[in-house]
Amino acid sequence: EKGGWDSFMDKEIHEDPAAVSNTLLGRYDESGDLDLDEVHIDEDVFRQIDKIIVVACGTASYAGLVAKYAIEHWVRIPVEVELAHEFRYRDPILTPRTLVVAISQSGETMDTLMALRHAREQGSRVLAICNTQGSTIPRESDAVLYTHAGPEVAVASTKAFLAQIVAAYLLGLYLAQVKGTMYRDEIHQTIDNLKDMPAKIQKVLDRQADVINQTAQRMSKARSFLFLGRHVGYPVALEGALKLKEIAYIFTEGFAAGELKHGPIALVEPGEPVVVIVPSARGRNVLHDKVISAIEEVKARGAFTIVVAEEGDPDADRYADVVFWRPPCPTLLSPLVDVVPLQLFALDMARLKGLDVDKPRNLAKSVTVE
Ligand code: M6R
């Protein structure tokens, strides 16, 4: 079943490229226009949507957070991302023009199901982004956009995360197309860029495995890790932190790099490992310089810095103790490559501790209780 891999998680990480390409497949026509007829929601209805609320838990919520940056930029409507269990028990503002997007790999997460039921009772439309055909969440939603990551068995979600980002991006691009908030060329270019991602992810898998493994060996005694990122790198930091705590039982915290000076920097003492997602340096990116200065800040306090950076970034080489390199790509697509070394790193750390990476203690693959 594991097809030669020693764990499902390892196998599923290596299916990251296919999860992206299969989720793209058949969602655009020959001219490059988005074709989402399968969701069976009228174009006019989509045109009227003035707010999106993503409801999800865990990794799926981080995919939603990534999508927020892209969809707000492309469609110019507010995108809120809510943990499903928090959403349900307050009094969220929902109207018929709100599109609620429920993201779930399993389609059986009770918290997410309760949130979508609540949204529908309030008269909003719910679109599910789901990996499991015929599961409860898509059945109870108004529409569904399936992720085609293939079955995910390991408790830690990996390939589904990438597929969720792609599906949410397709939805965003489709909304931009029907609302006319992007030029057609720009949409086509973004689709082309998405099509290039599987090969880039494959490159990370092929070329970074050794350095990641060596770093895990070096860090095998570490008791805690901090993860930081900015912009779309922020949810990637949250996801990297979740993976490591979930399967390697190491205390981790992910936070926005800009928050460092508002508290978390007090945690940094000599030897503390800090993982940083560095945005591209191309095009005089201000985000890049801000993140680099965050690295300098923690380094000045003795942190051991592990950095995910774009190939050729001279500053990453200068300031990091270790660099996991990833190929160049547009900023909004970078989570699809940046998360991959963090998945492998968590896997290696858990293996070195002799843990069952597929079935971490106290956790279930789908959380069917509230
Ligand atoms: O099946 P779902 O996507 O609804 O599951 C949501 C979370 O329970 C899930 O992502 C969880 O956080 C994973 N174990 C993370 O690796």
Q: What's the pLDDT tens digit per position in 79-110?
A: 999 999 999 888 899 999 999 999 999 999 99
Provide the mean pLDDT of the chain: 96
Residues noted as catalytic: 365
Alpha helix ranges (H) inside 180-223: 184-218
105 lines ligand 1 (CB under 6 A): yes
Q: For residue 190, what pLDDT is reported? A: 97
- How do residues 153-187 score in pLDDT, each as one tens digit? 999 999 999 999 999 999 999 999 999 999 999 99
Residue 15 has pLDDT above 90, yes or no: yes
Strand segments (E) across the chain: 51-56, 79-83, 98-104, 125-130, 143-146, 224-229, 251-256, 273-277, 304-310, 322-326
The three-state secondary structure class of 151 is coil
Mutate to test the pocket of ligand 1, among 7, 61, 82, 105 (most ligand atoms within 8 A of CB): 105
Strand segments (E) across 38-97: 51-56, 79-83
360 lines ligand 1 (CB under 6 A): no
Mutate to test the pocket of ligand 1, among 8, 57, 159 (most ligand atoms within 8 A of CB): 57
| ipTM associated with this complex | 0.99
Record the tokens describing residue 115, joined without a space.
Answer: 């949130």
155 lines ligand 1 (CB under 6 A): yes
Task: Report the residue count for the chain.
Answer: 370
Record the tokens describing residue 301, joined without a space.
Answer: 């306090």
Residue 122 has pLDDT above 90, yes or no: yes
* % pLDDT > 90, the chain: 92
367 lines ligand 1 (CB under 6 A): yes
331 lines ligand 1 (CB under 6 A): no
Confidence of residue 1 (pLDDT cuts 50, 70, 90): confident
Greatest extent of the chain over all pairs of C-alpha atoms, in Å: 58
Strands 125-130 and 98-104: parallel
- How do residues 49-85 score in pLDDT, each as one tens digit? 999 999 999 999 999 999 999 999 999 999 999 999 9
Q: For residue 251, what pLDDT is reported? A: 97
Mutate to test the pocket of ligand 1, among 157, 165, 342, 361 (most ligand atoms within 8 A of CB): 157
Which atom of ligand 1 lies at the shortest distance from residue 109's CA?
4
Which atom of ligand 1 lies at the shortest distance from residue 106's CA?
1
60 lines ligand 1 (CB under 6 A): yes
Q: What are phi and psi of 77, to 5 degrees?
A: -125, 150
Separation of 12 CA from ligand 1 center, angstroms?
Answer: 15
Q: For residue 285, what pLDDT is reported? A: 86
Q: For residue 29, what pLDDT is reported? A: 92
C-alpha span between 165 and 119 (Å, rounded): 22
Separation of 94 CA from ligand 1 center, angstroms?
Answer: 25
Residues 318-341, mean pLDDT to the nearest whole number: 96
Strands 251-256 and 79-83: unpaired
Separation of 270 CA from ligand 1 center, angstroms?
Answer: 34
C-alpha span between 12 and 32 (Å, rounded): 29
112 lines ligand 1 (CB under 6 A): yes
Separation of 245 CA from ligand 1 center, angstroms?
Answer: 14
Separation of 317 CA from ligand 1 center, angstroms?
Answer: 34
Separation of 356 CA from ligand 1 center, angstroms?
Answer: 18
- Radius of gyration, alpha carbons of the chain: 20
- How do residues 229-282 score in pLDDT, each as one tens digit? 999 999 999 999 999 999 999 999 999 999 999 999 999 999 999 999 999 999
Which atom of ligand 1 lies at the shortest distance from residue 112's CA?
4
Residue nearest to atom 10 of ligand 1 (CA): 59
